[in-house]
A and B are shown apart, each in its own frame.
Chain A
Amino acid sequence: MSGSETARATGHAGRGASLLVAALASAFGVVLLETTSVLATVVSGNDLSQLSAVRSALSIVAFLFITIAVYVSAIVTTNTVATVIAGRTRTIALMRLIGSSAGDQRRAVALDGLKVGLAGAVLGAVVGILLSFVGVRIAFGTALIPDLGYHLLEPLLALPVVIVVLSTWCAAWVGSRRVLAVSPMQAVGAAEERSLEESTRRPVRTVFSIVLMATGVLFLAGGVWVGQVTEYGVLLGLVGGCSRSPALCWGRTW
């Protein structure tokens, strides 16, 4: 089956939310690692022997926060994909009727998710790196941090990007299981009425999830800020973030 043909046939509408959350998660991850790197450099000062120890400690914290962001982003993507499928039910049913297999239809949706994840992650990373450059420049300009020769382009930055791509792809695959429930008979009727689900499920959840995502980002920024004063502040912020984000996520019915 030619995937492009199916992708073209089923349309590309509704990927906006997935793209946005993937980009947010990726940008967030990159900025977080950059912040970690800068903080580590500042904390250890000119003592290079201390640098890697401080860095790895901070990185663990950073990755815990990235995990939360990726988690929220994956849930948004899963729901977005399911919503998109609900809106495309008729076309999918028609493709099934004419002889497309359920698996092919599902793969087309998941492939779309991979592309969206890739685009979002790269876009987010670029934005994140630019933000970090600007941030360091400002902090340096206002004498908040000393001039220590910060490394803002590191291989480690690829990690959040890869994580976001894979998680978006996975989430799209999970969300796409709804394709399997579409029967070719749904295309034969003359009626074009939308199912209850199709007409009610749309934007509220997506917006809600994005708000959640933003909350997570704020939490994190707060944690990092407190962490600059006392190292235990970071841990406290982390505990708060860890317990709150999943709680909010699970509070949603999905």
Chain B
Amino acid sequence: MEITSAELGLAARVTNLCKNYGSATTSVAALDDVSIGIGRGQFTAIMGPSGSGKSTLMHIMAGLDEASSGRVWLGETEITGLGDSELTVLRRRRIGFIFQSFNLVPTLDVRGNITLPFALDGRRPDAAEKDWIDQLTDSLGLGDRLMHRPHELSGGQQQRVAIARALATRPELVFADEPTGNLDSRSGREVLTLLKAASTGYGQSIAMVTHDPIAASFADRILFLADGRVVEDRERSTAEEISGIMLGMEQRA
């Protein structure tokens, strides 16, 4: 019998994942036999130099891209080979996304953006969900900004809206790709503190891709990728330790 993700306490996992780009002659192996699990309730950082396959891994785990080989689970659901409509529902109900470029809908105000996942599901948030959204917007300092459009907000505020949207449906797993990449260090730290709080506060599982050692130091666990392979797997570390590991990886390369 197969081991289930729940028995392992995992929010998501991949086994023997490979991803090749290009044709047979000019093939690039973006991922090369990657097997990892993302702990439930954990804040996991995925680090590595540029081109090491971090984004590719995240896209495959989120069902946005297909692997060349290997298997992918979200919770108990194997998503390898699921069709577009199943993956769409999965993204809507069980996954949250935060991106470097915020990715808010410009024509909707803050409230509209935050409740968009519910609207896409063809329903309104129920009472409990409304409470949760109010709580989120308050703790993210967006309470007095609900009627504003994204372009009226600072980068840090826009990213907080994106976080509220990602957390609003209480998804099983939130994927964040370089969430602090477009922010100054102060707003970046705020965003990281909020993600950390979501993870410790109510056990939100988060997988964050970054190449910033300070961002990674907020995580409970750090995976290091290099050339499409997992080369290190660390518990919580300081920014200095993480920088050291990154430096070592670059020197070996």
Q: Is B107 an interface residue (CB 8 A)?
A: yes
Task: Determine whether the beta carbon of B64 is less than 8 Å from that of A9.
Answer: no
Task: Determine whether the beta carbon of A91 is less than 8 Å from that of B97.
Answer: no
Q: Is A19 an interface residue (CB 8 A)?
A: no
Task: Determine whether the beta carbon of B116 is less than 8 Å from that of A190.
Answer: no
Task: Determine whether the beta carbon of B101 is less than 8 Å from that of A190.
Answer: yes
Q: Is B59 an interface residue (CB 8 A)?
A: yes
A188 touching B99 in the complex, CB below 8 Å, given contacts A8-B112, A100-B92:
yes
Instruction: Give min CB distance, A2 to chain B, whole Å.
Output: 5
The number of inter-chain residue pairs (CB within 8 angstroms) is 79
Q: Is B177 an interface residue (CB 8 A)?
A: yes
For chain B residues 72-126, which have a beta carbon within 8 Å of chain A?
Answer: 84-85, 88-89, 91-93, 97, 99-101, 103, 105-108, 112, 116-117, 119-122
Task: Determine whether the beta carbon of B91 is less than 8 Å from that of A2.
Answer: no
Task: Determine whether the beta carbon of A188 is less than 8 Å from that of B59.
Answer: yes
A94 touching B105 in the complex, CB below 8 Å, given contacts A100-B120, A188-B59:
yes
A184–B59 CA distance with the chains assembled, in angstroms: 10
Chain A residues whose CB sits within 8 angstroms of the CB of B93 once the complex forms: 99
Contact partner of B64 (CB less than 8 A), chosen from A97, A102, A104, A192, is A97
Task: Determine whether the beta carbon of B103 is less than 8 Å from that of A8.
Answer: no
Instruction: Give min CB distance, B101 to chain A, whole Å.
Output: 5
Give B108's nearest chain A residue, CB to CB.
A9
A98 touching B106 in the complex, CB below 8 Å, given contacts A8-B112, A185-B59:
no
Task: Determine whether the beta carbon of B101 is less than 8 Å from that of A99.
Answer: no
Q: Is A1 an interface residue (CB 8 A)?
A: yes
A155–B216 CA distance with the chains assembled, in angstroms: 72
Give A185's nearest chain B residue, CB to CB.
B64
A192–B121 CA distance with the chains assembled, in angstroms: 27
A178–B112 CA distance with the chains assembled, in angstroms: 26
Chain A residues whose CB sits within 8 angstroms of the CB of B116 once the complex forms: 5, 9, 95, 98
Task: Determine whether the beta carbon of A10 is less than 8 Å from that of B119.
Answer: no
A187–B97 CA distance with the chains assembled, in angstroms: 11
Chain B residues whose CB sits within 8 angstroms of the CB of A102 once the complex forms: 84, 88
Task: Determine whether the beta carbon of A185 is less than 8 Å from that of B65.
Answer: yes
Majority secondary structure of chain A interface residues (helix, strand, loop or mixed): helix
A101 touching B117 in the complex, CB below 8 Å, given contacts A8-B108, A95-B105, A188-B59:
no
Size category, A interface: 20 to 34
A173–B114 CA distance with the chains assembled, in angstroms: 30
Instruction: Give min CB distance, B46 to chain A, whole Å.
Output: 15
Q: Is B181 an interface residue (CB 8 A)?
A: yes
A5–B123 CA distance with the chains assembled, in angstroms: 11
For chain A residues 93-112, which have a beta carbon within 8 Å of chain B?
Answer: 94-102, 104
Instruction: Give min CB distance, A178 to chain B, whole Å.
Output: 16
For chain B residues 120-134, which have a beta carbon within 8 Å of chain A?
Answer: 120-122
For chain A residues 51-106, which have a beta carbon within 8 Å of chain B?
Answer: 91, 94-102, 104
Chain B residues whose CB sits within 8 angstroms of the CB of A190 once the complex forms: 99-101, 178, 181-182
Q: Is A11 an interface residue (CB 8 A)?
A: yes
Task: Determine whether the beta carbon of A188 is less than 8 Å from that of B64.
Answer: yes
Task: Determine whether the beta carbon of B91 is less than 8 Å from that of A98.
Answer: yes
A207–B120 CA distance with the chains assembled, in angstroms: 36
For chain B residues 25-78, which have a beta carbon within 8 Å of chain A?
Answer: 55, 59, 64-65
A91 touching B91 in the complex, CB below 8 Å, given contacts A98-B116, A185-B65:
no
A10–B107 CA distance with the chains assembled, in angstroms: 7
Q: Top 7 nearest A-B pairs by Cβ distance? A: A99-B92, A5-B119, A99-B91, A100-B120, A190-B101, A9-B105, A11-B107
Q: Which A residues have a C-beta under 8 Å from some C-beta of B?
A: 1-2, 5-6, 8-11, 91, 94-102, 104, 184-185, 187-190, 192
